[in-house]
Homo-oligomer: A and B are copies of this chain.
Amino acid sequence: MPITSLEQLAAAVKEFGRERDWHQYHDPKNLTAALIVEAAELLEPFQWLTPEESLNLPAPKREAVRQEMADVLIYLVSLANCLDIDLLRAAEDKLAINAAKYPVEKARGSCAK
């Protein structure tokens, strides 16, 4: 049964940990540390590349990147499960905050924060 929504992914991740009794390790602090380790594994294939090269990854590297992105998402969903946070709602709220902080007129073309 394919996963077609973030809710289904959240349920699958919960079941995966439950079957393995891993929830005992899955406090938010540990999960966040795991997430940043995966984020670094995602950064690793881009090391030393030019921005242009990072847009044109050879197939094996692209697949490695895809798997690391999956790991980041899986830990983010685990953390959301653990803290009972609705990720889509949080992202929607954050986009609204960012829109107020970087209005279109002023922010155009500048990434200066």
Contacts and interface: CB of A to CB of B under 8 A. Distances in A.
Interface of A: 2-6, 9, 12-13, 16, 19-22, 24-25, 27-30, 32-37, 39-44, 46-49, 51-52, 54-55, 57, 62, 65-67, 69-74, 76-77, 79-80, 82-83, 85, 87-95, 97-99, 102, 104, 107-109, 111-113
B47 A74 contact: no
Give the dominant DSSP class at A's interface: helix
A67 to B, nearest CB: 6
A37 B39 CA distance: 9
Contact of A20 (B36, B71, B104): B104
Given A3-B91, A44-B37, A91-B3, A21 B109 contact: yes
